[in-house]
Every structure is written in C-alpha cells, then in structure tokens.
Structure 1
Amino acid sequence: MKKIGVGLIGSGFMGKAHAIAWSGVRAVYGDVPEIRLACLADASDDLARRKASEFGFATATADWQALLADPEIDVVSITTPNKFHAQMAVAALDAGKHVWCEKPMAPVLEDAQAMLNAQRRSGKVAILGYNYIQNPAIRHIRTLLDEGAIGPVNHIRIEMDEDFMADAGAPFQARHEAVNGYGAIDDFGVHPLSLIRTLFGGVAEVMCDMAKPYPTRKGKDGERAVEVFDVATILLRLENGASGLMALSRTAWGRKGRIAVQIFGEKGSILYDQERLNEFQLYLATERPTEQGFRTVLTAPHHAPYDRFVPAPGHGLGFNDLKVIECRQLIGLMRGEPGIVIDFEDGMKIERTVAAMARSFTERRWVKVDA
C-alpha cells in the first residue's frame, strides 16, 4: 500500500480525534503509507466544508453515501451517533471499504450482527474505537498477567464514573433516548468490557441492576421521561473462572474519566485508574514482608509504543495519542499484520454481554452470555 485514502463521517469530538490520528500516525510511526484525507461527510454542506477545512480533508459532502462511492477512499472512519453505526458500517463494507467505527457497535443486537455479517462477507478489516486498550500501561499489565506475576486471577473490580449527567437541572439530550441504547451499560460501560476482554477474555454470566437517578429532564416542550439508565451495577463471572464486579455511573460528581481497575491474584494485585493513565500500581506478595507494598509504575519508553511519542519517561501520553496507536493497529491489519484491537468479532461478544446485562435486569436473575 503506497497511499491510504481516508473518508470521515461525523466531525464532532470523536470525528476530530480520528482526524488527529490519521494526520499524526505517519509522523509518529514512520512506517505507514502516505495518508490522504480524501473526504469528510456531515449533516450539512456548510458544516462539512468548515470541518473539512479545519481537519485538512480535500473535499466535503452532506451525503455520506456519496463518500462511500469514491474509489479513492480505502477506509472509512464512522464517528456518528450510535444509532447510525449499523447502516453506515454495513454500507461501507459492502462498498469494499475498511471500517474504523466508534464504539459501541449498535443499540440493537440484530444491527450489530448485521455489521459483523457485512464484515465477514466483505473480507475487509473492521475495528471499533476502543482506544483505552492501546495504553502502554494496559499492554504491560497484560504482559504481567501472561507472565504470572500475580498468579492466577481470582477476582476483578472495575468502576467507570463520569459526571457529564450529574446535574439534575441539565436538559434532556439524545443520550436519554432508548433509540441510542440502554444507557450506562452500552454508552460507556463497553469500555470496561473491552479491558476485560483484552486482559482476561470473555464474560460468561452476569447479574445486573440499573437505576435512573433523574427520571425526567427538561425538554423543549416541558418535562420528558428519561428512557435509559445512567447507573448500573453488574456482578460478573468470567470465562476463566474469576468473579468480578462492574459499577457504572454517568452521574458521579467529581469523576471526569475514571475507569478504576482492581485485579486480585494469588500472588499479588494490580491497580489502574484511567484518570491517571500513565501509571499503574503493583503489589507482589512474593516480596519480603518488610518491603511489601504497592509500587507505582510510571510508563516510559520501555513500555512500547510509548517510545514512538516521547523519548523520556514521565512526560506522559494522552487520549488522542491512544487513538494514534489504534490507527496504527488498523493500518497494520489492513496490511495483513497482527494487531491489538477490538474487531467486529470481539465487538459482537461485547454486545452480547451488554444484551445479557439488559436481560438480567429485566428478568432479575443471572443470565449466561450467548457464545
């Protein structure tokens, strides 16, 4: 591949993150083809033209289907609201394009399956935007687990909290509509599930409870019922036999981007918090009691691919750097190389886990995750 033509659908926060990644991946890695930002599509011609100019795309359109018809485009980034993912991803794959779609796959399980079916019949690469698994700290935690540093894992706890819906007086928004999913469990609870999948494998069984701290919100025409759940607590049984707990809240004042992971094994523990994404804590029970204690490990150039960005420890990577790493993984897959990603196959397993959580809440019982 001498050149990669890129199309971007959607120019909001995640659209910008994809644009930054596509613009920076060659400078960071140096081993990828020339990247051509070919076309940006958004809801109106004016918005598309303005964002194309800001992001560096050659052309703009309000017709995303026209973008898919461009033979110069090899891969399409889809960063639209969740309810549009399935239609756009299926169309892109059927048009012979590789796909980089933001998480989650789709609000409806059948639509997610349609996305996977389209990927299978196309033979193209299709991955989801789970960039937190690209963190050098997470990669090294996986290495420690593979090496048995803390022995067999017997229990995990993951909390994901943000406060962007904590204000009871904030207005009703699209995320409060059932058409966009169940709420916390699939809006951002899929991020912890991506970490579980990367570090431990799949989830076998779940028991889920959900809650609505604020049942109504102010809409344009008065109070509107909130159709989704902003809080969830889930008991987990992992495929490897470990027990687990996942707690989610979109209404947690003071929490901005917290994914707190606690991993307990026979010979030690590992702690990680996404709000401090350049470090993790390690406790080894094999050390002498006089020196036992949690040590903080700061990511550095020897935690690849940190070294691609910064030649010195302590400087730190950020959210958009993880998107650049994810972009490089996608390009590698397009060239036939192995990669660390959540592809549509793994993504479908995450979606089935979410569906099992929703069913568990409705039926008030443990539910097995479909294989």
Structure 2
Amino acid sequence: MTERKLRIGLIGSGFMGKTHAFGYSAASRVFELPLQPELACLADINEEAAAKAAAALGFARSTGDWRALVTDPEIDVVNITAPNAFHKEMALAAIAAGKHVYCEKPLAPIAGDAREMAEAAEAKGVKTQVGFNYLCNPMFSLAREMIAAGELGEIRGYRGLHAEDYMADPLSPFTFRHDPTGGGALADLGSHALATAEFLLGPAAGPITRVLGDCVTVVSERPDGKGGTRRVEVDDIGRAFLRFENGATGSVEGNWVATGRTMQHDFEVFGTKGALAFTQQRFNELNFFSADDARGRKGFRRIEAGPDHAPYGLFCVAPGHQLGFNDLKAIEVAGYLEAIADRRPEPFNFRAGLRIQTLVEAIHASSRASAWREVG
C-alpha cells in the first residue's frame, strides 16, 4: 500500500461516527488505496468524551473543541457526524480552512444552506462526500446496470421505502431530530429512499421531475428531559408520489414510527420486460423477475451477492457469506479517497447532497399546499 498519509479528523463519535471510523480502518486493509487514512484526531462534546472515544476508536489525539480540529494544520479531511443542525457551520469552517469534507446525510436541513455549502466547496476546490452508504451495496450497482442495460425494458414504476421504529414510542424524549433544524423523518430516512430512486432509475428514467407530498406528525409532543414536554413540528412520516422524466411514476416513504421495523430500506422497480425487488433486511440478495420466462415457470428468482459483484470479492472470496453494514461504509470511504487522489469523480459530493435536500423541500412544500410540485 502507498505510504502517503491522509490525516482524518472526525467530529462526533455516536452511531455514525463509529461507522465512519470502522469504515476508514476496514478500507485501509481491504482496498489498495491511493492514500492511506490516518485516524489523527477526534472531537466530541467535551474533552472527557473525546478522549474516551478516541482511545476506543483508534484516534491518535482528541479535543473537546471541534473548531480546533477544523483549523488544525495536521488535518487533511474533516469528517462530520455531528447533529444535522451543525453540519453547515462545521463544513463551511472546514472548507474555509482548505480541508476536504466528508459529511453524513442530510447535508443540511435547509436546501439553501446545502447550496451554500456546495458552492463554497466548489469555489475552494476541495473534495466533498455526503454519507449515503446504502448506495455502495454491490446489489444496488447490479440493479442499476440491469435497468440501464434494458433488462427490465421501459421503466414504468418505482416504490421505495425507508422505515424504522426508533421514534415509535411517544414517551421517547425530544431529540435534535425533532427540532425543525433537524429535518424530520423525510430528511432523515426518506432521503435514503430518494437517493436510491434517482441512483437506480437515473440512467433509464431520468431524474424526478414532479412530487406530491404528504407529511404528517404522529406524536405531537415529547418529553423534554426536564419534567415537561416540547411540541414536535417535524414529520414522523413523509410520503410522496413521484413523476420521472421519462413518464414513469413512483412513490417513496420515510417513516421513523414504523413499529416493529428496525431497518427496512426496500425498493421495487417495474418495467415492460421485468422487475426487481430488494429489501435491506436481506441486503446481499436481489430478486429479478423476467417476463420472458416460460408459462408455468414465472416468478422472482434470487441473485445472491458474491465475488462476481465487485467489490464483494475483496472482502470475501466465497459467495453467500455476505457483506455487512460497516462494509458498505468502507466501500464509500474507498471511493472518496480515490476522488481525493483524482482517480475518479467524487462519488456523492455536496452538489449531489443538495439535490436530495431540494427533493425533500419540494415534497414538504407540496404537502403544505396539497398540490403537485415541480422539481428543478
């Protein structure tokens, strides 16, 4: 492997912070990277939390001040996994300091902020990445290839869903996700469904051009942790009907009160010659229906992930042994590092993150107006 180091500064050590740290560690061992990531510094809410997380995740140094990390000349990439409302301030500070920036989704809860972030990065010439690691699944790449190659014929319909139940209990406390600056279920989970829809159908059906939204708040108040309650103004469920450029129609849903669903990121694609079906709960499989099958032999058949579906073979030489969630982040990290080294375009940069937030805002606006909304 190359000895050229890329020094990583991570802000936040929660669920996604750990996933990013694991992704860097795994990517450096699985892929022949053009740059070797070095876990240089971790910033968290205070010095004690930062030091504890840095020791656990393998970072050389720690700080309780994210601003010190951003301006540190020893940091090459600022990796943001802090609450959504802080993404803009942190990213703009990092860009101003000339750092590459890797930010978890959503890029920003407001499209105008996401645009400012994208334009700042482009003006400065730094490389950016937004964390949509579900798109790194080899089964997604296979589905996209099959759709683009015409194996499904003309695309007619799409259904996408991302549902979880971590907000299903009405007594669970108010968090940063419930604040209007956090975005709501559509931005938090529905963004994955929207990104998947355009990733898969883009080559064949074009982008989403019109939306009809229906966003609802199911739990209107939540405990504030101080003996009282706080009003919830964001959506618990966000749904939308979609129209694609080629005339295909579809729907997506983001739902964080889906009782019993710990992780459901599913899609179905329907064409004139066939169909595809996928569920994240079995994300090493893709189900394909061909209309050309003989009568009495028709049905969905399972395609199982294996070394023929790159980069699966770099993780395991045997089919059916399966990749995991953190492996998808390692694939995402590898793609981003290749972009920083100018070996490929940025896989999902801030401009792409802006596109998803633009769709989210169009759906919210459509829901408020109870009318179809054009998407630029």
TM-score norm. by structure 2 comes to: 0.95
**CA positional deviation for 1:260:** 1.5
**CA positional deviation for 1:340:** 7.0
**CA positional deviation for 1:197:** 2.0
Match of 1:235 among 241, 244, 253: 241
Distance in 1, Cα, partners of 2:268 & 2:75 = 42
Code of the aligned partner of 2:149: E
- 2:191 is aligned to 190
Code of the aligned partner of 1:195: T
Distance in 1, Cα, partners of 2:31 & 2:54 = 24
Match of 1:268 among 270, 274, 280: 274
Match of 1:43 among 24, 45, 59: 45
- 1:293 is aligned to 299
Is the contact between residue 256 and residue 275 of structure 1 (CA under 8 Å) also seen in structure 2? Answer: no
- 2:122 is aligned to 120
Is the contact between residue 193 and residue 253 of structure 2 (CA under 8 Å) also seen in structure 1? Answer: no
Higher mean Cα deviation, 272-281 or 212-221? 212-221
The secondary structure found in structure 2 opposite 1:21 is helix
Matched, 1:111 2:106: no
Distance in 1, Cα, partners of 2:343 & 2:29 = 20
Q: Residues 314 and 213 (structure 1 numbering): CA distance in 2 closer, same or farther, change over 3 Å?
A: same
The secondary structure found in structure 1 opposite 2:294 is coil
Distance in 1, Cα, partners of 2:54 & 2:172 = 31
Q: Matches of residues 67-146 of structure 1 in structure 2 within 5 Å? A: 67-146=69-148
Q: Residues 339 and 254 (structure 1 numbering): CA distance in 2 closer, same or farther, change over 3 Å?
A: farther
Q: Matches of residues 138-287 of structure 1 in structure 2 within 5 Å? A: 138-181=140-183, 183-201=184-202, 202-219=207-224, 220-287=226-293
Distance in 1, Cα, partners of 2:254 & 2:8 = 35
Distance in 2, Cα, partners of 1:171 & 1:90 = 30
Q: What percent of counterpart residues are identical?
A: 41
Match of 1:315 among 315, 321, 327: 321
The secondary structure found in structure 1 opposite 2:101 is strand
Is the contact between residue 129 and residue 346 of structure 2 (CA under 8 Å) also seen in structure 1? Answer: no
Is the contact between residue 200 and residue 240 of structure 1 (CA under 8 Å) also seen in structure 2? Answer: no
Query: What is the count of residue pairs matched by the alignment?
Result: 369
Distance in 2, Cα, partners of 1:234 & 1:198 = 17
Is the contact between residue 208 and residue 361 of structure 1 (CA under 8 Å) also seen in structure 2? Answer: yes
Is the contact between residue 130 and residue 341 of structure 1 (CA under 8 Å) also seen in structure 2? Answer: no
- Residues 155-202 of structure 1: CA distance to partner in whole angstroms, max 9, x if unpaired? 101121111111123222222111212x11101110011111211232
Distance in 2, Cα, partners of 1:160 & 1:68 = 33
Is the contact between residue 134 and residue 340 of structure 1 (CA under 8 Å) also seen in structure 2? Answer: no
Is the contact between residue 160 and residue 192 of structure 1 (CA under 8 Å) also seen in structure 2? Answer: yes
- Residues 62-85 of structure 1: CA distance to partner in whole angstroms, max 9, x if unpaired? 111211222221111100000000
Distance in 2, Cα, partners of 1:303 & 1:238 = 28
Code of the aligned partner of 1:106: A
The secondary structure found in structure 2 opposite 1:178 is coil
Match of 1:351 among 347, 357, 361: 357
The secondary structure found in structure 1 opposite 2:363 is helix
Is the contact between residue 203 and residue 236 of structure 1 (CA under 8 Å) also seen in structure 2? Answer: yes
**CA positional deviation for 1:339:** 4.8
Higher mean Cα deviation, 261-270 or 15-24? 15-24
Distance in 2, Cα, partners of 1:124 & 1:218 = 41
The secondary structure found in structure 2 opposite 1:133 is helix
Distance in 1, Cα, partners of 2:254 & 2:353 = 19
Match of 1:365 among 345, 353, 371: 371
Is the contact between residue 163 and residue 189 of structure 2 (CA under 8 Å) also seen in structure 1? Answer: no
Structure 2 gaps, min length 5? none
Distance in 2, Cα, partners of 1:210 & 1:33 = 43
Distance in 2, Cα, partners of 1:77 & 1:340 = 15
Q: Matches of residues 24-63 of structure 1 in structure 2 within 5 Å? A: 24-63=26-65
Is the contact between residue 106 and residue 187 of structure 2 (CA under 8 Å) also seen in structure 1? Answer: yes
Distance in 2, Cα, partners of 1:269 & 1:306 = 24
**CA positional deviation for 1:90:** 1.2
Distance in 1, Cα, partners of 2:90 & 2:194 = 24
Distance in 2, Cα, partners of 1:223 & 1:92 = 36
Is the contact between residue 135 and residue 196 of structure 2 (CA under 8 Å) also seen in structure 1? Answer: yes
Code of the aligned partner of 2:216: A
Distance in 1, Cα, partners of 2:108 & 2:22 = 24
Distance in 2, Cα, partners of 1:256 & 1:340 = 31
Code of the aligned partner of 2:288: L
The secondary structure found in structure 2 opposite 1:322 is helix
Code of the aligned partner of 2:326: N
Structure 1 runs (4+) greater than 3 angstroms displaced: none
**CA positional deviation for 1:223:** 2.8
Higher mean Cα deviation, 172-181 or 37-46? 172-181
Distance in 2, Cα, partners of 1:240 & 1:7 = 43
